[in-house]
Structure 1
Amino acid sequence: MKQDAIRLVSKCERCQKHSSLIHQPTEPLTTMLSPCPFIQWGMDIVGHFSLATGQRKFLLVAIDYFTKWVEAEPLACIIEGEVMKFIWKNIVCYFGVPREIISDNGRQFQERKIQEWCQGMRIEQRFTTVAHLQGNGQVEVTNRILIQGIKRRLERVGGNWAEELTSVLWAYRTTPRGSTGETPFSLVYGTEAIIPAELGIPSHRVMNFSEECNENLLRENLDLIEKLREKAFLRVQRYKNIMISSYNRRVKSRSFQVGDLVLRRADALKSIGKLDPTWEGPYKITSIIGQEGPVSNVHNICKDHQITGANPLLRSSEGSSTHRGHPPDQAF
């Protein structure tokens, strides 16, 4: 009787639609590792902010996946022309033509004009999964750090957020990152920047400054920059291996087949209220995009919807339950 009760409850459609999201990962973590500086950049647009001078209310952010160097610029409008101008001015003219740029599926990155421009520059565009921010996790983490920095400066000194952006970027670039153990500034230029704190409380290199000694030290640092970058690369590898090991211990694989009935996350494409169902549907999977054959965590095309988070729907009528077992958390 107990097992019958469990089966009955597990197939209650209303219970499934109001069930909580399960955050247990469904497939092993996949990380991106850039082998050298300035060939792989992540880009994202943040906004809306409060209006700044020049009607600027968006922030375009780019980060180099190797050095963690960040470029950011406040914008009044986010059209493909502004994105192209940013890539040219802030990336190409300073660091050379990148091999690939990773971004979300926003129109600013997918318009024909920018795609043709990137093809002409031999820049490969890679797009993350719809409604799956973790696909470009590095730039998403950077966005949070920049926003926190802007908030703190505005609370302390007041003023315009766009004007405070330069100071926040400076702080980010001269702070050691946990994954590399080095500052982005040192991985780009081969030496550490002199920060204002070293002038208030003079450091050894400030107190004993010598033009000849400084020039020799800079030359030496430039000779050693490749070793510094190699050391940072090995540290990133170790850091990612630890992260992968910790993440994968929580993985519980799930897969969908063509013909399965699934419920989609109700908040995937719209906001929902506190009392609204967590899941909506059911939808029937008509095709699977991904590797050959049914695989876990792939785009599931159900009717006319692109499913980016799904649960199998269990029904009480025999033969209608298309996927047995415990519900997974998300298709991505």
Structure 2
Amino acid sequence: MPFFMVYGSKAILPTDLDYGASWVRTYNEQGAKTSLEDAMDQLDKAHDVALLHSAKYQQALRRYHSRLVQGRAFNVGDLVLLLVQSNKNHHKLSPPWEGPYIIVEVLQLGTYELKTIYGKVFVNAGNIEQLRPFYP
């Protein structure tokens, strides 16, 4: 089917030519022209069917993914871990998370101002993608 969708005709294998497949032997030029017109109609139909299957697959994939995604939000005072942004002075066995930090303020949906447990406030806000809940 993909070969037909790209080239508009069936694939002719070298073995079909060598051993004289019946559809290769019955080929004539006049019939090929009408056959090409029919094939173009079939190509449009095959293209529409492929688009329909692709859309159906993407919808199913989106439903599956949305089912597994869980919303996450933090409140002021929650303890969180922050993803390490720089690997400088870290080796491969270093933990990927640092903290715990306390959420001081919710700046926007998904953006938080953090401070250390010792009271130092971060200038850069933490994005929800870089935060994980901390369970003491």
Kept in 2, the 8 Å contact 1:262–1:313? The answer is yes
Gaps of 5+ in 1: 1-181, 289-293, 317-332
CA distance in 2, matches of 1:301, 1:205: 69
Mapping 1:167-206, distance limit 5 Å: 182-183=1-2, 185-189=3-7, 191-192=8-9, 194=11, 198-202=13-17, 205-206=23-24
TM-score normalized by the length of structure 2: 0.55
Partner SS for 1:280: strand
C-alpha contact (below 8 Å) 1:263/1:283 kept by paired residues: no
CA RMSD after TM alignment:
4.1
Q: Distance in 1 between matches of 2:86 and 2:24?
A: 55
The offset of 1:227, in angstroms, is: 2.1
The structure, 1 or 2, with the larger RCO (C-alpha pairs under 8 Å, 6+ apart) is 1
Contact conserved, 2:112 with 2:125, CA < 8 A, in 1? yes
CA distance in 2 between counterparts of 1:254 and 1:307 reads 12
Cα distance in 2, alignment partners of residues 242 and 233 from structure 1: 14
- 1:273: Cα distance to partner? 4.1
Cα distance change on mapping 1:313 and 1:248 into 2, 3 Å: closer
Structure 2 equivalent of residue 212 of structure 1 = 30
Percent identity among equivalent residues? Answer: 22
1:274-293 pair list within 5 angstroms? 274-280=92-98, 282=101, 287-288=107-108
Give 1:277 shift.
Answer: 0.4
Question: Residue 309 of structure 1 is aligned with which of 110, 118, 129?
Answer: 129
> Which position in structure 2 is the counterpart of 1:263?
82
2:47 paired residue number? 229
Alignment of 1:19-38 (within 5 A): none
Give the number of aligned pairs.
Answer: 120
Name the SS for the 1:312 alignment partner.
strand
Structure whose CA Rg is larger: 2
Structure with greater strand share of residues:
2
What's the offset of the Cα at 1:206? 3.8
What do the CA deviations read for 1:247-297 (whole angstroms, capped 9, x no partner)?
A: 344332213468875512x4x675974411022355967644xxxxx36xx
Q: Note the residue ranges of structure 2 that are not aligned, 5 or more in a row.
A: 114-122
